[in-house]
Chain A
Protein backbone atom coordinates (compact mmCIF):
# COMPACT_ATOMS: atom_id res chain seq x y z
CA UNK A 1 0.00 0.00 0.00
CA UNK A 2 1.15 3.50 -0.73
CA UNK A 3 1.92 5.90 2.10
CA UNK A 4 2.55 9.64 2.23
CA UNK A 5 4.51 11.31 5.02
CA UNK A 6 4.69 14.98 5.88
CA UNK A 7 7.26 15.37 8.64
CA UNK A 8 6.56 19.03 9.44
CA UNK A 9 3.33 19.41 11.46
CA UNK A 10 3.77 23.20 11.49
CA UNK A 11 5.78 25.79 9.57
CA UNK A 12 5.88 29.56 9.70
CA UNK A 13 7.30 32.17 7.36
CA UNK A 14 7.50 35.93 7.14
CA UNK A 15 5.30 37.57 4.56
CA UNK A 16 7.11 37.94 1.20
CA UNK A 17 9.67 35.27 2.12
CA UNK A 18 10.01 31.76 0.66
CA UNK A 19 9.06 28.55 2.44
CA UNK A 20 9.43 24.88 1.51
CA UNK A 21 7.09 22.14 2.71
CA UNK A 22 8.37 18.56 2.69
CA UNK A 23 6.66 15.38 1.55
CA UNK A 24 7.92 11.84 1.06
CA UNK A 25 6.00 8.87 -0.23
CA UNK A 26 6.40 5.16 -0.55
CA UNK A 27 5.27 3.17 -3.57
CA UNK A 28 6.37 0.32 -5.77
CA UNK A 29 4.57 1.74 -8.77
CA UNK A 30 6.25 3.64 -11.60
CA UNK A 31 3.12 5.36 -12.89
CA UNK A 32 1.54 7.78 -10.45
CA UNK A 33 0.58 11.38 -9.76
CA UNK A 34 1.39 13.68 -6.88
CA UNK A 35 -0.59 16.65 -5.65
CA UNK A 36 -0.46 19.47 -3.17
CA UNK A 37 -3.80 20.61 -1.79
CA UNK A 38 -4.42 23.64 0.42
CA UNK A 39 -7.15 23.64 3.08
CA UNK A 40 -7.85 27.08 4.58
CA UNK A 41 -10.05 27.53 7.66
CA UNK A 42 -13.06 27.52 5.34
CA UNK A 43 -12.33 23.74 5.06
CA UNK A 44 -12.53 23.54 1.27
CA UNK A 45 -9.66 21.54 -0.18
CA UNK A 46 -8.13 23.50 -3.05
CA UNK A 47 -5.73 22.03 -5.60
CA UNK A 48 -2.44 23.93 -5.61
CA UNK A 49 -0.27 21.95 -8.00
CA UNK A 50 0.09 18.48 -9.55
CA UNK A 51 3.02 16.48 -10.88
CA UNK A 52 3.00 13.49 -13.18
CA UNK A 53 5.67 10.95 -12.24
CA UNK A 54 6.66 10.39 -15.87
CA UNK A 55 7.57 14.05 -16.29
CA UNK A 56 11.11 15.04 -15.32
CA UNK A 57 10.32 18.75 -15.33
CA UNK A 58 9.12 20.13 -12.01
CA UNK A 59 5.62 21.62 -12.08
CA UNK A 60 5.14 25.34 -11.49
CA UNK A 61 2.00 27.39 -10.87
CA UNK A 62 2.74 31.08 -10.38
CA UNK A 63 4.36 31.42 -6.92
CA UNK A 64 4.12 27.67 -6.26
CA UNK A 65 6.66 25.15 -7.51
CA UNK A 66 7.68 21.63 -6.63
CA UNK A 67 10.96 19.78 -6.30
CA UNK A 68 10.17 16.26 -7.48
CA UNK A 69 12.90 13.73 -6.74
CA UNK A 70 11.57 10.43 -8.05
CA UNK A 71 14.48 8.24 -6.95
CA UNK A 72 14.33 9.67 -3.45
CA UNK A 73 10.49 9.58 -3.47
CA UNK A 74 10.41 13.18 -2.38
CA UNK A 75 7.94 15.88 -3.44
CA UNK A 76 8.44 19.25 -1.74
CA UNK A 77 6.40 22.41 -2.30
CA UNK A 78 8.06 25.81 -2.50
CA UNK A 79 5.99 28.92 -1.97
CA UNK A 80 7.69 32.12 -3.08
CA UNK A 81 6.74 35.64 -2.01
CA UNK A 82 4.46 34.27 0.73
CA UNK A 83 1.17 36.11 1.20
CA UNK A 84 -1.21 36.22 4.14
CA UNK A 85 -3.76 34.33 2.08
CA UNK A 86 -1.36 31.38 1.84
CA UNK A 87 -1.99 30.54 5.50
CA UNK A 88 -3.67 27.12 5.57
CA UNK A 89 -3.16 23.40 6.06
CA UNK A 90 -1.23 21.91 3.16
CA UNK A 91 -1.67 18.28 2.22
CA UNK A 92 0.50 16.20 -0.04
CA UNK A 93 -1.39 13.44 -1.87
CA UNK A 94 -0.58 10.44 -4.06
CA UNK A 95 -2.68 8.77 -6.72
CA UNK A 96 -1.87 5.64 -8.65
CA UNK A 97 -1.71 5.85 -12.42
CA UNK A 98 -3.58 2.57 -12.67
CA UNK A 99 -7.15 1.78 -11.73
CA UNK A 100 -9.43 4.11 -9.80
CA UNK A 101 -8.60 7.57 -8.56
CA UNK A 102 -8.19 7.09 -4.82
CA UNK A 103 -6.08 9.83 -3.26
CA UNK A 104 -3.74 8.92 -0.40
CA UNK A 105 -3.04 11.95 1.78
CA UNK A 106 -0.31 12.86 4.22
CA UNK A 107 -1.01 14.20 7.70
CA UNK A 108 -0.69 17.82 6.63
CA UNK A 109 1.48 20.82 7.46
CA UNK A 110 -0.03 23.91 9.04
CA UNK A 111 1.52 27.01 7.45
CA UNK A 112 1.42 30.33 9.29
CA UNK A 113 2.33 33.59 7.57
CA UNK A 114 3.74 36.28 9.86
CA UNK A 115 3.07 39.86 8.74
Chain B
Protein backbone atom coordinates (compact mmCIF):
# COMPACT_ATOMS: atom_id res chain seq x y z
CA UNK B 1 0.00 0.00 0.00
CA UNK B 2 1.73 3.16 -1.22
CA UNK B 3 1.86 5.95 1.30
CA UNK B 4 1.96 9.66 0.61
CA UNK B 5 4.84 10.61 -1.66
CA UNK B 6 6.33 14.04 -2.35
CA UNK B 7 8.82 15.35 -4.85
CA UNK B 8 11.43 16.66 -4.89
CA UNK B 9 12.96 15.89 -1.48
CA UNK B 10 15.16 18.99 -1.52
CA UNK B 11 15.14 22.18 -3.54
CA UNK B 12 17.26 25.32 -3.64
CA UNK B 13 15.90 28.50 -5.22
CA UNK B 14 16.79 32.17 -5.22
CA UNK B 15 14.62 35.10 -4.17
CA UNK B 16 11.99 36.06 -6.73
CA UNK B 17 11.88 32.66 -8.39
CA UNK B 18 8.89 30.38 -8.59
CA UNK B 19 8.68 26.79 -7.32
CA UNK B 20 6.32 23.84 -7.78
CA UNK B 21 6.12 21.01 -5.28
CA UNK B 22 4.26 17.78 -5.95
CA UNK B 23 2.31 15.32 -3.85
CA UNK B 24 0.70 11.95 -4.52
CA UNK B 25 -1.83 10.90 -1.89
CA UNK B 26 -2.04 7.57 -0.14
CA UNK B 27 -3.86 4.98 -2.22
CA UNK B 28 -7.62 5.42 -1.87
CA UNK B 29 -7.42 8.99 -0.52
CA UNK B 30 -9.09 11.90 -2.27
CA UNK B 31 -8.20 14.94 -0.15
CA UNK B 32 -4.83 16.68 0.02
CA UNK B 33 -3.69 19.28 2.53
CA UNK B 34 -0.48 21.30 2.48
CA UNK B 35 1.47 22.56 5.49
CA UNK B 36 4.54 24.74 5.92
CA UNK B 37 6.92 23.84 8.74
CA UNK B 38 9.59 26.40 9.55
CA UNK B 39 12.68 25.17 11.37
CA UNK B 40 11.91 24.40 15.01
CA UNK B 41 8.20 25.11 14.62
CA UNK B 42 5.01 23.16 14.25
CA UNK B 43 3.41 22.84 10.81
CA UNK B 44 1.14 25.66 9.64
CA UNK B 45 -1.86 24.90 7.42
CA UNK B 46 -1.65 26.40 3.92
CA UNK B 47 -4.70 24.98 2.14
CA UNK B 48 -6.69 21.85 1.38
CA UNK B 49 -7.96 20.44 -1.91
CA UNK B 50 -10.91 18.16 -2.48
CA UNK B 51 -12.63 17.39 -5.80
CA UNK B 52 -10.09 19.63 -7.54
CA UNK B 53 -11.26 22.66 -5.55
CA UNK B 54 -9.59 24.59 -2.75
CA UNK B 55 -11.80 23.79 0.23
CA UNK B 56 -10.10 25.73 3.00
CA UNK B 57 -7.19 28.13 3.18
CA UNK B 58 -4.92 29.20 6.01
CA UNK B 59 -3.33 32.59 6.56
CA UNK B 60 -0.98 32.56 3.57
CA UNK B 61 -0.66 35.17 0.80
CA UNK B 62 -1.86 34.68 -2.76
CA UNK B 63 1.70 33.86 -3.77
CA UNK B 64 0.84 30.40 -2.54
CA UNK B 65 -1.46 28.56 -4.90
CA UNK B 66 -2.32 24.98 -5.59
CA UNK B 67 -3.98 22.53 -7.84
CA UNK B 68 -5.48 19.08 -7.59
CA UNK B 69 -5.66 16.74 -10.55
CA UNK B 70 -8.34 14.18 -11.41
CA UNK B 71 -6.12 11.41 -10.03
CA UNK B 72 -6.12 13.31 -6.68
CA UNK B 73 -2.44 14.25 -6.83
CA UNK B 74 -1.66 17.85 -6.03
CA UNK B 75 0.80 20.65 -6.65
CA UNK B 76 1.80 23.57 -4.46
CA UNK B 77 3.10 26.63 -6.30
CA UNK B 78 4.89 29.52 -4.66
CA UNK B 79 5.63 32.66 -6.70
CA UNK B 80 8.06 35.49 -5.99
CA UNK B 81 9.95 33.49 -3.39
CA UNK B 82 11.10 35.24 -0.23
CA UNK B 83 13.85 34.18 2.16
CA UNK B 84 11.12 33.49 4.72
CA UNK B 85 9.60 30.83 2.47
CA UNK B 86 12.49 28.53 3.39
CA UNK B 87 10.83 25.63 5.20
CA UNK B 88 9.78 22.00 5.07
CA UNK B 89 6.60 21.66 3.04
CA UNK B 90 4.43 18.76 4.10
CA UNK B 91 1.61 17.16 2.19
CA UNK B 92 -1.08 15.16 3.97
CA UNK B 93 -3.82 13.05 2.46
CA UNK B 94 -7.11 11.76 3.80
CA UNK B 95 -10.36 10.22 2.64
CA UNK B 96 -13.49 12.32 2.70
CA UNK B 97 -16.37 10.01 3.48
CA UNK B 98 -18.51 12.52 5.30
CA UNK B 99 -17.64 11.24 8.73
CA UNK B 100 -15.05 13.42 10.40
CA UNK B 101 -13.87 10.68 12.73
CA UNK B 102 -12.64 8.69 9.75
CA UNK B 103 -10.72 11.52 8.17
CA UNK B 104 -7.29 11.13 9.74
CA UNK B 105 -4.52 12.83 7.80
CA UNK B 106 -1.45 10.86 6.77
CA UNK B 107 1.70 12.80 5.94
CA UNK B 108 4.39 12.51 3.32
CA UNK B 109 8.13 12.93 4.00
CA UNK B 110 8.10 16.56 2.93
CA UNK B 111 10.08 18.77 0.56
CA UNK B 112 12.84 20.89 2.07
CA UNK B 113 12.93 24.27 0.30
CA UNK B 114 15.83 26.64 0.77
CA UNK B 115 15.55 30.16 -0.65
CA UNK B 116 18.83 32.04 -1.05
Q: How far is the CA of A102 from the CA of B49 in the complex (A)?
A: 11
Number of B residues near A (Cβ < 8 Å) is 28
The reply to whether A100 and B48 form a contact with Cβ atoms under 8 Å apart is: yes
The reply to whether B55 and A33 form a contact with Cβ atoms under 8 Å apart is: no
Number of A residues near B (Cβ < 8 Å) is 27
Which of B12-20, B68-76, B78-86, B106-114 touches A? B106-114
Identify B109's interface contact among A42, A93, A99, A107, CB under 8 A: A42
CB-based A-B contact count at 8 angstroms: 63
Known: A33-B100, A100-B55, A102-B58. A107 touches B107 (CB 8 A): no
Which of A43-51, A56-64, A74-82 touches B? A43-51
The reply to whether B42 and A108 form a contact with Cβ atoms under 8 Å apart is: yes
Q: How far is the CA of A108 from the CA of B40 in the complex (A)?
A: 8
The reply to whether B33 and A97 form a contact with Cβ atoms under 8 Å apart is: no
Query: Which A residues from 93 to 113 make CB contacts under 8 A with B?
Result: 93, 95, 97-108
Nearest CB in chain B to that of A96: its residue: B100
In the complex, whether B24 has a CB less than 8 A from a CB of chain A is: no
The reply to whether A43 and B105 form a contact with Cβ atoms under 8 Å apart is: no
Q: How far is the CA of A104 from the CA of B40 in the complex (A)?
A: 16
**Which residues of chain B are near A45, meaning CB under 8 Å?**
43, 90, 92, 107
| 21 residue pairs from A and B, CB less than 8 Å apart | A4-B42, A33-B100, A43-B112, A44-B107, A44-B108, A45-B107, A91-B42, A91-B43, A98-B100, A101-B31, A101-B33, A101-B100, A102-B33, A102-B48, A102-B56, A102-B58, A103-B35, A103-B92, A103-B105, A105-B42, A105-B43
Contacts beyond the supplied A42-B109, A102-B45, A107-B41: 15 A-B pairs with Cβ under 8 Å: A33-B100, A37-B107, A45-B92, A45-B107, A50-B104, A100-B48, A101-B31, A102-B48, A102-B56, A103-B33, A103-B43, A103-B105, A104-B45, A105-B42, A105-B43
Question: Which residues of B come within 8 Å of A, CB atoms?
Answer: 31, 33, 35, 40-45, 48, 55-56, 58, 88, 90, 92, 94, 100-101, 103-110, 112
